[in-house]
Amino acid sequence: MALASTARRSKASANDAAAGASVHKSKSVSEVTDPRALRTRDAINSAFVGLLHRRPYASIRVSDITRKAKVGRATFYAHFDSKDALLASQLSGVVMPMIEPVPGADYLVDASRLFVHILSARTIYRSLCGGSSGVVGERIIQDAIEARIAMLIAQRRMAGHAIAAAPFIPRFVAGTLLALVAWALEQQPEPAADDLQATFRILVGRALARLP
């Protein structure tokens, strides 16, 4: 991923995909260096995103992904524990870094790139968050956002900046961001990413601001 761009990556490697089964499933994309394993993951990711363009997340099965990626089920499970783990891996590895720190600012994060990505991939995020997919899809996305915010808070504290220590802050920020995304996906015409970031900053600014 990014979720929208993975589907556009080369499909020529799909026929070689089954060769990557030796890579341990717990490794992140950045840790996988074997070219055959990378081709396998690329085929799985591309197949998954292609399916998200056409149907709700809840209706996608592992067998659908493996069939489209032209890999065996054993190969899929050598890389990922489940469909949910595949989604979580893509979110944490590529999408969540779009929530970026803002060094020296009074607020912690800039989600502008994430808003641009979501607005360019509306079909995919509607597949993940709409209908019966919503409960599971939103939970996985929220978990990824919470982990990213918690990491950024920890980094800011390690740099010597005081930030409110309330443990619920990552969850509050993640819930607020998801609510804003859900609203944005319902709008016609769609709001600008910069406007969404401005609203997001207002909504969570105090929670993520440096303490005096």
Read off the pLDDT band of 60 (50, 70, 90): very high
Q: Are residues 55 and 135 in the same domain?
A: no
Neighbouring CB atoms inside 10 A of 117's CB total: 21
Its domain, for residue 40, covers: 3-93
Q: Are residues 125 and 194 in the same domain?
A: yes
Residue 9: pLDDT over 80: no
- Digit-coded pLDDT (tens) for 89-129: 989 888 899 999 887 777 788 999 999 999 999 899 988 88
- Out of 93, 121, 154, a domain closes at 93
pTM above 0.85, yes or no: no
Residue 22: pLDDT over 60: no
Q: Are residues 197 and 103 in the same domain?
A: yes
Q: Are residues 35 and 89 in the same domain?
A: yes
Asked if residue 183 lies in contact with residue 203, where contact means CB atoms within 8 angstroms, the answer is no
